[in-house]
Amino acid sequence: MRLFVALELPEELLEALSETSAALRDSVRGRYVAPDRFHVTLAFLGEVAGTRVGSASSAVAQACAGHGPLPVALGELGSFGRRNSAVLWQGVEGGELLDALARDVRASLKDAGFSLDDKSFLPHVTLMRAADLTKGALPMPALARGVVDTVTLFSSDLSGAHPVYTPLERFFLG
């Protein structure tokens, strides 16, 4: 199965992200991510045998044990990829605490034998895919602050019309 580890966000942040997404609807064409799928990916494991889920779960548990609740703030809009078919996201600022959490989760998964990419960690919430950024200006994003206290191991099923994420296990911070 396809696995990833992500932060689930507190209500204040989800509300602001929904506001940003609603504002984007008036100015950008593309595929919108439904608000119930908003998350911040810490590590993407890709296809993993079902028999290794337990091992992934222990690795994440071990990494999270050393971390407490995480104050975060929403930041600017940004994009990956081509201007006419971009991934459009809103940045998440969590400073050194968030960087350290992502580093520890990734290191722990690597120690357990999972292969992860070596891209530098740029915390964000994806709001749109296949976004056409060639026309018009982007709106100002809605901002918010909150405290994250949950890291979740998700499976991702891409076989349907839209991705379905299923929480397999949740790890509380602090």
Q: Applying CB under 6 A, does 150 fall inside the site for ligand ATP?
A: no
Q: Applying CB under 6 A, does 110 fall inside the site for ligand ATP?
A: no
Active-site hit among 24, 38, 39, 131: 39
Which member of 138, 156, 168, 170 binds ligand ATP (CB under 6 A)? Answer: 156
Q: Applying CB under 6 A, does 158 fall inside the site for ligand ATP?
A: yes
Catalytic residue list contains 162: no
| Half-sphere exposure in the Cβ direction for 104 (13 Å, CA) | 18
Tell me how far apart the alpha carbons of residues 61 and 66 are, in angstroms, rounded to a whole number: 9
Q: Applying CB under 6 A, does 163 fall inside the site for ligand ATP?
A: yes
Stretch that binds ligand ATP, among 19-27, 55-63, 93-101, 156-164 (CB under 6 A): 156-164
Burial of residue 105 (number of CB atoms within 10 Å: 0-12, 13-18, 19+): buried
Contacts with ligand ATP in 72-101 (CB under 6 A)?
none
Catalytic residue list contains 67: no
Which amino acid does the sequence have at 21? S
**Do the strands 85-93 and 150-157 form a parallel or antiparallel pair, or are they unpaired?**
unpaired
Which member of 26, 47, 117, 118 binds ligand ATP (CB under 6 A)? Answer: 117
DSSP, collapsed to helix, strand or coil, labels residue 144 as coil
Which member of 1, 2, 121, 168 binds ligand ATP (CB under 6 A)? Answer: 2
Q: DSSP H helical segments within the chain, as ranges?
A: 11-25, 53-65, 95-111
Tell me how far apart the alpha carbons of residues 116 and 12 are, in angstroms, rounded to a whole number: 31
Contact letters (x/-) for ligand ATP, 39-58, by CB under 6 A? Answer: --x--x--------------
Tell me how far apart the alpha carbons of residues 124 and 90 are, in angstroms, rounded to a whole number: 6
* Binding residues vs ligand ATP (CB under 6 A): 2, 4, 41, 44, 117, 126, 129, 156, 158, 163
